[in-house]
Structure 1
Amino acid sequence: MSDMITADLVDLDLSADTKEAAARALAERMVALGRVTDLDGFLADVAAREAQMPTGLDGGIGIPHCRSEHVTEPTLAFGRSTAGVDFGAADGPADLIFLIAAPAGADDAHLTILSSLARQLMNAEFTAALRSAGDAAGAAALIRGEEPAPATGTTTGATTGATEGTSEDATEETRDTGAVSAAASAEAAPGSTGEDPAEAAAGGTGEDSAEAAPGSTGEDPDERGRPFRIVAVTSCPTGIAHTYMAAESLENAGREAGVDLVVETQGSAGFTRLDPAVIAAADGVIFAHDVPVRDKERFAGKATVDTGVKAAINRPGELIGEVRDRAARGEVTSASPGATPVERGGETGEGYGTKLRKWLMSGVSYMVPFVAAGGLLIALGFAIGGYEINKAPSVMDHFVWTQADSWGALLFQIGGVAFAFLVPVLAGYIAYGMADRPGLVPGFVGGSIALTVNAGFLGGLAAGLLSGGVVLAIQRVPIPKALRGIMPVVVIPLISAAVVGFLMFVVIGKPIASAQSGMTDWLNGLSGANAILLGALLGLMMCFDLGGPVNKVAYTFATAGIAVASPSDSAMKIMAAVMAAGMVPPLAMALATTVRGRLFNAAERENGKAAWVLGASFISEGAIPFAAADPLRVIPSSMVGGAVTGALSMAFGATLRAPHGGIFVVPLIGNPLLYLVAIAAGVCVTTALVIVLKGLRKPVTGAAAQGPGGADPAAPTPGAKQPVAA
């Protein structure tokens, strides 16, 4: 690690009072040494990583980190703050701050060294030595491993007190001078804990792993003369720090609890899969992750605890106790989990409302492509064949290659078939988000029944939630080991489909159909001031979180109205208002950076160029970099402009049959010229408000200056991945 941190990269008197200022102060040292080529671009990448999950850890540690194209070589900077800096940890500010900068294509060896540092941070003696270091050179030498390693003793998960007891010195080899030894590389390499997998499989007793098949009977393994065995997987979005800190914390807690615990770290450098024999011999599994677990199906049939990576750092003992309790009760996963948008029902302590939102967004995310494809095909069918095309005979019976009407009918009928999947897909993947693959069968069945009984979109929502709940209830029933193999393919689909079908046909289908009919009648009756107010409200929602849950609620409400072969005029007006309002924020930011570029820094001006295309394509997320850097000015301004556009679109009577497409589907819009006027009005309002509000703020000077005009440079870079849905 000698080439990664030097005394010049250490600040023992860090005076920053915010995490942005702390990152800037440490990053400036990297720039001075030529390790970072673009300060603002690098800080934008750090901020983007911080937005995914706070990097503060209990015990006074902050580890802002990222992989960035602006980094020339892996670099570590260290700062010690007397006052402390808030990095989002539950126990308060951090006084030890490590800024980790990895190149976009960092090699595995350097990432392994960085992972070793993350493990060292779980050693209380190591952090205590850093707090008492008297000079920068000494602190750098300690981090490099050139100072004697602190004596091992009592360690805590990020010094939180969640796990206490004697831990072995897991980092002694990695702090050897110069290069990383083979032993240290093995200890820190992804998927390794430093012990022989064969010994881990047998628990050091020589027992046959088949005899120790996990959690099949609920019997406590200790009663069978061997320790309880756990396999764990840790992973975080960047895969540099939290992944390995969680692994170290779990291993320490496992040793204290007398449990054989083996961790697979799925980090940036890739991962080494656990030996199948180790997994087969395990009694339980802990998934501590903030990104999907790769090859998760390997761990099916085990007592499982699924949580976020920080939970493993802060309270590993609780997780171990929880998985032991589940194994004792015989609670195991009965199917191979897939990679779904909702990898788990929610982290421990997450509220039901948050879980419900995730489940619903799972269904919506799978439904949107059907909406876009089907809606655009139907819109093209109308454009080619005219608005009587919905009365055309089936192309199976009549299709003339040289007639435009036949091609219009073909596109319309293909789009209609795609639309027929909307409600079943919505219901199926809500259930999928709740219960993984076993939820698909009852979800699709319930969604299809919702169409049959005319319960529509609301019926699909209810069917999806019912299906997921029924499957989860069935999975809680203790099942003999001999029957577990047929549960996911026979028993669960049979029982869940029958129960959901009964409820949809006999109990709740008709009431929901009545509610759906009432809502449709209400929309059809909107006119005048009521319609304008609805347009303004939808415009506010579309611009509130720029592609987030509130935006998706408004978008889903609009698409549900046109997701039929012959939507009402009111439904098409709502769709037009929603798409128009969603185009306003990115177009307004693009215009603002063009007419008042001095109010924005270089990164934001670059983002402004991309925002023209994103806004024209109805991708509201194009304004996220600006909102992240200056939310108090950008978001309210966007909401005002969106409300103006939504209200004007409804007042002008613009209609839209397609659920997406931006300006590229303007020829398919009713009253297209007035529609464009509505968009232009909202863009001008938002642009004017942003310019005025940014012009009123006080300029920032000195070391804390944040770019021309005082704009916060911590906005995502133009190369950041943009979501594709509005």
Structure 2
Amino acid sequence: MSAAPQTSAGESREEGTGGARIVAVTACPTGIAHTYMAAEALEQAAAEAGVRIAVETQGSAGAEPVADEVIAAADAVIFAADVEVRDKDRFAGKPTVQVGVKNAISDGAGLIARAVAAIGTERHEEARTEREPAPAAEPPQGEGRGAQLRGWLMTGVSYMIPFVAAGGILIALGFALGGYEIDKAAAVTEHFDWTELKSWAALCFQTGQLAFEYLVPVLSGYIAFAMADRPGLAPGIVGGAVAVAVEAGFLGGLAAGLMAGGLVLWLRKLKIPAALRAIMPVVVIPLLGSLVVGGLMFTVVGRPIAWAQEGLTDWLNSLSGGNALLLGAVMGILSAFDMGGPVNKVAYTFGVAGLTTGTDGAFKVMGAVIAINVVPPLALALATTVRKSLFSRAEQQNGKAAWVLGFSQITEGALPFVALDPLRVIPACMAGCATTGMMTMAIGTPLRAPHGGLFVTPLVGSPFLWLLSIAVGVAVAALLVIVLKSTTRRRAAVQDA
């Protein structure tokens, strides 16, 4: 994940002097890296194409919406997002290109061209409407059922992550300050001594525990919110709370959110008397939605999912030997596949889901996930330092930034290298991440913090072995990048000769 540009999140920025006017929205699940990288890529591509563009970044710092008059004057819209775009209705009626956020990073010029082509198609359709009936409208490109489902789930995850980070790090601090018996400390409301370290440890731990109790309800609520807007929020949160009550956990939250969103969408389509329309979103829909979703989670859906959650917990606790090594390798390969993209988030979300079980096996998985995600940027930073001649001047500068990004667990620090040479960089990073994943799982390096990169090293069990696992993975990936690039260069030299 990379740092945001100096302009404020969502700031409207216009480029180019061409006749076409485009507005764009970029958004990724964490709202940190891909969001801003996609915005920069679109702005650069628009400037090169002579097209005017205004980009709204719906990032973690919030969003400053593009002005209404800019939207009104726009000829087309680009949605580059892996989550549901907020206030999407503002852009209704305009030709739309909808893709995942990574598409904008890797092919900004192509997206600009598609948006301009959509403008021409729209104008042609308008010109012939009086001569023949227009065909039935099709959903925007990229808006298939699978893409919709992923967007809904990633929206829930994006709102959950701040609770995961705050709660997880506070719990880890509690253990670091007060030892592993801190979970048995008296409630802070009953005993708190300002001069006692153990009291502060208990304060951190118990505050983190409370934050963790909101994980599943927030996940469920914002999945429903992504599907059905504000009316889905209350039924989704209630369904998530019931999932916690019946011990259905993370999986139960996913099911409750999808049920709540689907139910609210159906309720909103019902034809009702005009007198009741005003109270539907604030009384009727929350009441019926919460009752139905809560009832289903209590009586029908919750227990089977709870059994599945128990199976996941037992499996995580039983991980040892070959099973643990295989899981570590798979998580490493998934994480390096798209460097912070949707596939990477599958592995990360698996680690976070395990945290809700509170088991030692789950904490080991989290330790492996964090270690894996710092490997790609650090490996590319090391490679650019050791063999500068294999990299362009721009890549060498990116390598310097990748040191900081890697230390901070911003996996997207490797993306500039992936964009230029994916066939060599991705396999090398996969090998390095798989190595780190297997080593951390074999050694057993539990971690209760869900984010933080190398800065959470003091909170890791067996911190020196954890760092060794990262160092070996970084060395493997960097060596493979160097070997692959050197081999290619030698082959090119032979062919030229």
TM range (shorter): 0.7 to 0.9
Letter in 1 for 2:418: A
Asked whether the equivalents of residues 431 and 468 of structure 1 are also in contact (C-alpha less than 8 Å), the reply is yes
Code of the aligned partner of 2:411: S
Counterpart CA distance in 2 for 1:312 and 1:504 is 44
Give the CA deviation at 1:242. Answer: 10
Q: In structure 2, what is the equivalent of residue 414 of structure 1?
A: 207
Which of 72, 76, 79 does residue 290 from structure 1 map onto?
79
2: CA distance, partners of 1:420 / 1:373:
12
Q: Secondary structure at the match of 2:201?
A: helix
The 2-side partners of 1:353 and 1:589 are apart by: 33
2:122 equivalent to 1:316: yes
User: 2:369 pairs with 578, 585, 589, which one?
Assistant: 578
Aligned to 2:69, what secondary structure does the other structure show? Answer: coil
Query: Which residue number in structure 1 is paired with residue 443 of structure 2?
Result: 652
Match of 2:424 among 633, 651, 669: 633
CA–CA separation in structure 1 for the residues paired with 2:125 and 2:295: 38
Deviation sequence 1:663-697 (CA, Å, 0-9, x none): 11111111111111111111110001000111112
* 1:406-555 equivalences in 2 (<5 Å): 406-555=199-348
Computing the radius of gyration over CA atoms, which structure comes out larger, 1 or 2? 1
CA spacing shift, 1:464–1:105, aligned 2, 3 Å: closer
Do residues 375 (structure 1) and 165 (structure 2) align? no
The within-5 A match list for 1:2-81 is none
* Residues in 1 aligned to 2:340 and 2:182: alpha-carbon distance in whole angstroms: 34
Residue 314 of structure 1 deviates from its aligned partner by 5.7
Q: 8 Å contact 2:249–2:356 — kept in the other structure?
A: no
1:595 — aligned with what?
386
Cα distance in structure 1, aligned partners of 2:305 and 2:354: 16
Give 1:352 shift.
Answer: 1.3
Contact 1:450 1:460 (8 Å CA) reproduced: yes
CA 1:489–1:546 in structure 2 vs 1: closer, same or farther (change >3 Å)? same
SS in 2 for 1:399: coil
Q: Among residues 246, 252, 272, which one is paired with 2:69 in the alignment?
A: 272
What is the CA deviation profile of residues 432-470 of structure 1, one whole-angstrom value per residue up to 9, with x for unaligned ones? 111221221111111111001100000001011111111
| Whole-angstrom distance in 2 between the partners of 1:616 and 1:674 | 17
Aligned AA for 1:458? L
Cα gap change, 1:570/1:305 in structure 2, threshold over 3 Å: closer, same or farther? same
What is the distance in 2 between the residues matched to 1:319 and 1:444? 43
Pair 305,488 (structure 1): closer, same or farther in 2 beyond 3 Å:
farther
Q: Distance in 2 between matches of 1:583 and 1:522?
A: 26
Which stretch of structure 1 is more off in the superposition, 418-427 or 433-442? 433-442
SS at match of 2:483: helix
Task: Quote how far apart the aligned CAs of 1:491 are.
Answer: 2.3
User: Per chain length, whose mean CA-contact separation is higher, i.e. which structure has more relative contact order (CA < 8 Å, sep 6+)?
Assistant: 2
8 Å Cα contact 1:539-1:645 kept in structure 2 = yes
SS at match of 1:697: helix
The Cα shift of 1:105 comes to 11
Q: Which amino acid aligns with 2:467?
A: L
The 1:486–1:699 alpha-carbon spacing in structure 2 relative to 1, beyond 3 Å, is: farther
Corresponding residue for 1:684?
475
Structure 1 stretch 349-358 or stretch 511-520: which is displaced more? 349-358
* Kept after mapping to 1: 8 A contact 2:95/2:118: no
Q: Once the 2 structures are TM-superposed, how far is the Cα of residue 425 of structure 1 from its aligned partner?
A: 0.8
Q: In the superposition, relative to structure 1, how do residues 555 and 68 fare at CA in structure 2: closer, same or farther (>3 Å)?
A: closer
1:697 aligned onto 2:488 = yes
Q: Cα 1:466–1:320, aligned 2, differ >3 Å: closer, same or farther?
A: farther
Output the amino acid matched with 1:516: Q
Say which SS state the counterpart of residue 190 (structure 2) adopts.
coil
- 1:393/1:294 Cα in 2 relative to 1: closer, same or farther (>3 Å)? closer
CA distance in 2, matches of 1:383, 1:357: 36
Alpha-carbon distance in 1 for matches of 2:295, 2:51: 45
SS in 2 for 1:448: helix
Q: 1:643 corresponds to which residue?
A: 434
Provide closer, same or farther for how the CA distance between residues 474 and 316 of structure 1 changes in structure 2, counting only shifts above 3 A.
farther
CA distance in 1 between partners of 2:281 and 2:51 (Å): 31
Q: 1:569 aligns with which of 352, 360, 368?
A: 360
Aligned length: 427
Specify the SS of the correspondent of 1:659. Answer: coil
For residue 506 of structure 1, report the CA deviation from its aligned partner: 1.3
With normalisation by structure 2, the TM-score equals 0.77
Structure 1 partner of 2:20: 118
Question: Are the counterparts in 1 of residues 395 and 416 from structure 2 also a CA contact under 8 Å?
Answer: yes
| TM-score (ref. length: structure 1) | 0.54
Q: Distance in 2 between matches of 1:442 and 1:463?
A: 9
Q: SS in structure 2 opposite 1:387?
A: coil
1:608 equivalent in structure 2: 399
CA gap of 1:683–1:299, structure 2 versus 1, over 3 A, is: closer
**Residues 297 and 288 (structure 1), Cα distance of their counterparts in 2 relative to 1, 3 Å cut:** closer
Where 2:167 maps in the other structure, the secondary structure is helix
Question: Which has the larger displacement, 501-510 or 635-644?
Answer: 501-510
* Deviation at residue 349 of structure 1 after TM alignment: 6.0
Change (3 A) 1:698 1:298: closer
Cα deviation, 1:151-176, whole Å, max 9, x if unaligned, reads xxxxxxxxxxxxxxxxxxxxxxxxxx
User: Separation in 2 of the partners of 1:559 and 1:269?
Assistant: 34
Structure 1 residue 486: Cα displacement? 2.5
Shift in CA distance, 359/298, structure 1 to aligned 2, threshold 3 Å:
closer
2:384 is paired with a residue of what secondary structure? helix
Alpha carbons of structure 1 residues 650 and 349: separation in structure 2 relative to 1, 3 Å: closer
* Equivalent position of 2:466 in the other structure: 675
Equivalent-residue separation in structure 2 for 1:543 and 1:384 (angstroms) = 34
Note closer, same or farther for the CA distance 1:521–1:691 as it changes in structure 2 (3 Å cut).
same
Residues 380 and 402 in structure 2, CA contact (< 8 A), matched pair in contact too: yes
Structure 2, unpaired ranges of 5+: 24-40, 54-64, 99-114, 128-137, 493-497
Given that residues 163 and 212 in structure 2 are in contact (C-alpha distance below 8 angstroms), is that contact kept between their aligned partners in structure 1? yes
In the alignment, the residues of structure 1 paired with residue 224 and residue 336 of structure 2 have an alpha-carbon distance, to the nearest angstrom, of 29
Report the CA distance between 1:304 and its aligned residue.
7.2
State whether residues 288 and 312 of structure 1, in contact with CA within 8 Å, keep that contact through their aligned partners in structure 2. no
Distance 1:315 1:498 in 2: 47
Partner Cα separation in structure 1 for residue 125 and residue 288 of structure 2: 32
How much is the aligned-residue C-alpha RMSD, in angstroms?
3.8
Question: What does the per-residue CA deviation read over 1:94-148, in whole Å, with 9 as the maximum and x for residues that have no partner?
Answer: xxxxxxxxxx998x7x85xx24x338xxxxxxxxxxxxxxxxxxxxxxxxxxxxx
How far does the alpha carbon of each residue in 1:321-353 deviate from its partner, in whole angstroms, 9 at most, with x for none? 9xxxxxxxxxxxxxxxxxxxxxxx973563211
For residues 512 and 243 of structure 1, do their structure 2 counterparts lie closer, same or farther at Cα, with a shift above 3 Å needed?
farther
Alignment CA distance shift 1:289-1:600 (3 Å): closer
